[in-house]
């Protein structure tokens, strides 16, 4: 009898919970690559194995290559005070409005780079993965003002990202 009474409540709870978390990750509708290219500072990210040696000052530089792909140079400061960098390339997925890229630092292995949040003035971006495995909050400046950070975090939350594991990246105040 108790089970019969609780079943509708349980089903309602499950149905209310599913749409926010089971829906697939969506990218922004379109990205102007010319505006997106350039220097970005990592404000926060999910901890990644390949970034374990980084202690701060993490940046990404994107530029257009002669073959139409995008050059990617990631850089970070290590505990020794030296900078480490990794160079790769990205290609835009067709029919994605330039919002879905495939990035490689070690060919032939590619990873998904989806732009899921983007400031209208291209001052911040949220980059994620379709399975919510990765998340980066990027800014054109080493510090992101709180209202802009709140907007970036809201765009990640709206995509079903759990932000408890988000780690903030120390950046110097000098660009």
pLDDT digits (tens, 9 = 90+) for 76-125: 999 999 999 999 999 999 999 999 999 999 888 999 999 999 999 999 99
Confidence at residue 31, expressed as pLDDT on a 0 to 100 scale: 98
What mean pLDDT is predicted for residues 16-31?
A: 69
Confidence at residue 137, expressed as pLDDT on a 0 to 100 scale: 98
Q: Please count the helices (runs of H) and the strands (runs of E) in the chain.
A: 3, 9
Mean pLDDT of the chain: 87
Burial class (CB in 10 A: 0-12, 13-18, 19+), 25: middle
Contact assessment for residue 83 and residue 71, using Cβ atoms and an 8 Å cutoff = no
Contact assessment for residue 21 and residue 160, using Cβ atoms and an 8 Å cutoff = yes
- pLDDT interval class at 173 (50, 70, 90): low
CA atoms within 13 A on the CB side of 153: 16
Confidence at residue 52, expressed as pLDDT on a 0 to 100 scale: 84
| Domain covering 27-167 assigned CATH 3.30.200.20 in the classification | no
| pLDDT at residue 12 tops 90 | no
What mean pLDDT is predicted for residues 28-53?
A: 93
Alpha carbon distances (Å) from 50 to 74, 103, 150, 160: 11, 14, 27, 24
Confidence at residue 68, expressed as pLDDT on a 0 to 100 scale: 95
H helices of 23-162, in order, are 33-36, 146-158
Distance CA 62, CA 68 (A): 12
| pLDDT at residue 155 tops 70 | yes
- pLDDT interval class at 9 (50, 70, 90): very low
| pLDDT at residue 20 tops 60 | no
Confidence at residue 174, expressed as pLDDT on a 0 to 100 scale: 55
Confidence at residue 21, expressed as pLDDT on a 0 to 100 scale: 41
Confidence at residue 17, expressed as pLDDT on a 0 to 100 scale: 34
Q: Angle at CA 129, nearest 5°, toward 123 and 131?
A: 145
């Amino acid at each position: 009898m108790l089970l019969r009474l609780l079943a509708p409540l349980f089903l309602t709870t499950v149905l209310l919970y599913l749409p926010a978390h089971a829906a697939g990750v969506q990218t922004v509708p379109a990205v102007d690559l010319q505006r997106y290219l350039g220097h970005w500072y990592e404000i926060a990210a999910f901890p990644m194995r390949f970034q374990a040696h980084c202690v701060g000052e993490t940046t990404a530089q994107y530029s257009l290559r002669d073959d139409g792909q995008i050059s990617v140079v990631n850089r970070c400061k290590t505990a020794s005070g030296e900078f480490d960098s990794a160079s790769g390339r990205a290609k835009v997925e067709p029919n994605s409005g330039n919002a879905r890229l495939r990035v490689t630092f070690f060919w032939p292995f590619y990873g998904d780079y989806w732009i899921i949040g983007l400031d209208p003035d291209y001052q911040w971006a949220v980059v994620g993965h379709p399975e919510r495995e990765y998340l980066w909050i990027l800014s054109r400046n080493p510090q992101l003002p709180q209202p802009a950070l709140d907007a970036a975090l809201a765009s990640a939350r709206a995509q079903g990202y759990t932000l408890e594991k988000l780690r903030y990246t120390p950046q110097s105040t000098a660009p």
